[in-house]
Structure 1
Amino acid sequence: MRILVLGGTGYLGRHVAERLRALPGAQVLAAGRSAGAGLGADLARDRPERLAETLAAAAPDAVVNCAGATGGDPVTLAEVNARGPAALCAALCAAAPTARLVHLGSAAEYGPGTPGVKVTESAPACPVAPYGATKLAGTLAVTSAPLDAVVLRIGNPVGPGAPAASLPGRLAALLRPAGRAPEAVLRLGDLSAHRDFVDV
């Protein structure tokens, strides 16, 4: 089985590609913006026609979309998290319409929920910040496309190489210099939300 991992050199993509390569019979191809990617693909900027060329060259049986942005200004978030999945779906329809698409969404699509009530997978989406809103737009692009597709809403992935914009990444960045000081104060903001963390 040929599996194309978009964002395959990024935080989640590297871990996903590594796990997939361990499966018997899996041929894993990584695509992304960095020079280390086997195939070049930029979901934020490439036209669907360009993405279709990449997909045709890869001839995947399945595509795992790990590309995304967790931080930045609203325009950057929209380009990567909303426009990217829409362009990918258009390209898949043109070049690989039978490939299975697994798109990584985010638990931020649900919004904050009600205090004291667990947010389940059947909870309605109600994002309150640009990140969650753009991830929800990407999910809607995937679920409305005429493809064999599924969205996995990931919640707080932690592990080696966490991006600096994530809560664990920010905490690690704050702890590095504080670890050298005899006493330090870490300012993290509101941590009252109950969170599930997923080992990447």
Structure 2
Amino acid sequence: MEVVAEAGTANEAIDLVDRYRPSVVTVDIRLGNMDGIQLVRILKGRQEAPRCMVLSTYEDRQHLVGALEAGADAYLLKSNSYETLPDTVRRVHEGESMLSQELISLMMDEYRKVAAQQIHRDSGLTAQDVKVLRLLAKGSRSLDIANDLAMTEITVKRKVQEIIQKLNASNRVQAVAEAIRRGVI
């Protein structure tokens, strides 16, 4: 393994990648003239794209998901990547995708949110339907649900009937059981 070049800006990095054709490029999120995510997108859009590793201080969803959507093969936090960097570069070069350990739970949470949204879309349930179902699962009566959600009791009863139909259930208990089975609540 050999470091062939170092760049201070994204434009310089693009020129150096064109000149040296490295198999792995490490990219900082913060660059002078564009951010690292844009640079990764540009590099990964090329015919002979290098593997791209993002090194960052950012532990947030926006940067992580942005980098992965741009095509990054690894996203590592600077706080713990230097001692493992040579091994990580080797593994990324061999085709592995890598994330800092701290970011795995963030990605799992993100996956769960997306999966829950898909379940809601597939079931036809609205966000308010899910709130009603959660309260039903706790054993709340229609009047209690109406008070909790600032609705009338008649509206809650109508909403419960709609939920029962959407879930192809016969009653409240079956609707709650079906929602649990589908992972909605």
Higher alpha-carbon Rg: 2
Structure that is richer in helix per residue:
2
- Scaled by the length of structure 2, what TM-score is found? 0.25
Structure that is richer in strand per residue:
1
State the structure with bigger RCO (CA 8 A, min sep 6), 1 or 2.
1
- Scaled by the length of structure 1, what TM-score is found? 0.23
